[in-house]
């Protein structure tokens, strides 16, 4: 009697339906790789990574979620435009500080008295929400790209030999990778960020219900205007509960990923610190343990940074993230004024920014400089030996290698670029915040 053939293991209909649904929602199953999957246990990022969405698709999706959907819902609820047919921009061109500053800078026009100020805030007049929604759509795309590079950086540097394997052994590499795989993929901080987002938006919603909305539009000052404007706000919870619920959920999503991005940034800085503080193997001579650098630069690398381009890309996105976040917080102040919820989050944001910039730049620059000097000193020794042997051709080749190493930049950003960022982004932000303090907070 022939023995039955063994086939693949059968699954119940429930398991088959579950696997099929997971594939449809999150994309095809990906086998584990050497990267640190930051998006692990994150439903939204798992969906994005599983379906390999392109940048324009992601941007269009988030912009539709954050802005277009509100536009359509407000149009259906007839709270998109002013009830008297007035164009919001014509009312606030001399009232809303960013518009006023822009008009003054472009046309050099004298400040005109504000037009009559009806206490209505339809969606077309909710400038802060529109700007923040647009900025956050870009920021979500930026965050996805940044998380992706952070997850790849450690493995890429080690696999390509930029992290010297005589210094960071495979055992050390695997230990750190597994450690931060657990930390980045922890469900605990992901759950806490959701709770923080819900708490923050709920407290903010409760606060503006008693204090009113848009102090920046309350010109000329009127004590009753902000409360009346809130009662005629497009997302007022009493007049428009469905719109308010959608606004609430979108703000919770934005706040949740704001806190998650901070956690990812902190863990990335710690990973950078632990990577570059690794001691040399104890089996090597003392002289090597003191002199051999962690980085092994390749001066002929196509990225023109000796092989650390991915770190430069990460830091560039940190600067862009800070720029976007600064203008988003500015819009929050224009919309809600100086409430403690906005102040607390802004203080956390401002406190974390130096931590995301200064330690990585300093750590990487110090080790890049050490690696360059190590290689140059070694080549100079070889040049001396070649000169003693009267090998002119070899001397020329080695001198060319020194020139290549000297062209590798020590810092991930040049001084010129740092100054450019400061002038183009930080100075305007400081100017806007000063205007908020003078004309909004004190009113």
Percentage, residues of the chain above pLDDT 90: 22
CA-to-CA distance for 108 and 102, rounded, in angstroms? 9
Q: What is the CA radius of gyration of the chain?
A: 28
Residue 230 lies in a domain: yes
Counting the structural domains of the chain, the total is: 1
Residue 401 lies in a domain: no
Residue 110 lies in a domain: yes
Tell me the average pLDDT of the chain.
Answer: 80
Indicate the range of 104-113, 133-142, 167-176, 357-366 predicted with least confidence: 104-113
Indicate the range of 56-70, 130-144, 382-396 predicted with least confidence: 382-396
Residue 147 lies in a domain: yes
Residue 80 lies in a domain: yes
Cα dihedral sign for 299, 301, 307, 312?
A: positive
Residue 318 domain boundaries = 40-364+413-441
Residue 17 lies in a domain: no
DSSP assigned state of 398:
H
Q: What is the pLDDT of residues 296-353, one digit of tens each?
A: 888 777 667 778 888 888 988 888 888 888 888 888 888 887 777 777 787 788 778 8
24 or 373, higher pLDDT:
373
Return the structure tokens found at 217.
């539009």
DSSP assigned state of 36:
-
Q: Which has the closest alpha carbon to 132: 212, 205, 67, 60?
A: 67
Question: Contact 323/428 with Cβ under 8 angstroms?
Answer: no
Residue 82 lies in a domain: yes
Burial class (CB in 10 A: 0-12, 13-18, 19+), 55: exposed
Cα dihedral sign for 2, 3, 7, 13?
A: positive
Output the pTM of the full model.
0.82
Residue 393 lies in a domain: no
Indicate the range of 89-103, 277-291, 423-437 predicted with least confidence: 277-291
């Amino acid at each position: 009697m022939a023995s039955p053939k063994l086939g693949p293991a059968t699954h119940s209909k429930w398991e088959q339906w579950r696997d099929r649904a997971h594939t449809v929602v999150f994309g095809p199953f990906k086998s584990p790789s050497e990267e640190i999957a930051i998006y692990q246990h994150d439903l939204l990022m798992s969906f994005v990574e599983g379906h390999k969405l392109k940048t324009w698709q992601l941007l269009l999706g988030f912009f539709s979620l954050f802005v277009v959907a509100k536009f359509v819902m407000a149009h259906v609820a007839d709270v998109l435009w002013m009830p008297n047919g007035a164009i919001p921009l014509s009312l606030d061109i001399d009232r809303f500080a960013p518009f006023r500053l822009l008009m003054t800078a472009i046309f050099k026009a004298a400040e005109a008295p504000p037009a009559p100020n009806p206490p209505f805030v339809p969606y077309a007049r909710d400038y802060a929400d529109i700007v923040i929604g647009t900025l956050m759509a870009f920021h979500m795309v930026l965050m996805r790209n940044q998380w992706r590079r952070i997850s790849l950086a450690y493995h890429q540097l080690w696999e390509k030999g930029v992290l010297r394997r005589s210094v960071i052994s495979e055992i050390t590499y695997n230990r750190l990778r597994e450690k931060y795989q657990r930390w980045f993929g922890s469900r605990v901080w992901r759950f806490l960020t959701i709770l923080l987002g819900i708490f923050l938006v709920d407290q903010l919603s409760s606060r503006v219900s008693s204090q009113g909305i848009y102090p920046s539009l309350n010109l000329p000052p009127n004590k009753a205007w902000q409360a009346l404007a809130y009662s005629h706000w497009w997302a007022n919870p009493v007049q428009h509960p469905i719109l308010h619920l959608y606004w609430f959920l979108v703000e919770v999503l934005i706040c949740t990923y704001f806190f998650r991005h901070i956690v990812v940034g902190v863990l990335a800085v710690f990973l950078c610190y632990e990577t570059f503080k690794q001691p040399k193997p104890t089996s090597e001579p003392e002289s090597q343990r003191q002199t051999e650098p962690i980085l092994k630069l390749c001066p002929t690398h196509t990225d023109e940074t000796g092989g650390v381009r991915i770190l430069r890309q990460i830091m560039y996105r940190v600067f862009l993230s800070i720029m976007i976040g600064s203008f988003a917080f500015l819009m929050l102040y224009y919309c809600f004024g100086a409430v403690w919820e906005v102040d607390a989050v802004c203080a956390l944001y401002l406190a974390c920014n130096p931590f995301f910039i200064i330690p990585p730049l300093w750590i990487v620059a110090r080790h890049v400089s050490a690696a360059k000097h190590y290689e140059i000193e070694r080549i100079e020794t070889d040049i001396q030996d070649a000169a003693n042997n009267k090998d002119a051709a070899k001397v020329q080749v080695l001198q060319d290698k020194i020139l290549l190493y000297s062209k590798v930049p020590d810092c991930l950003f040049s001084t010129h670029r740092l100054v450019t960022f400061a002038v183009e982004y930080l100075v305007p932000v400081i100017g806007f915040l000063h205007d908020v303090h003078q004309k909004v907070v004190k009113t």
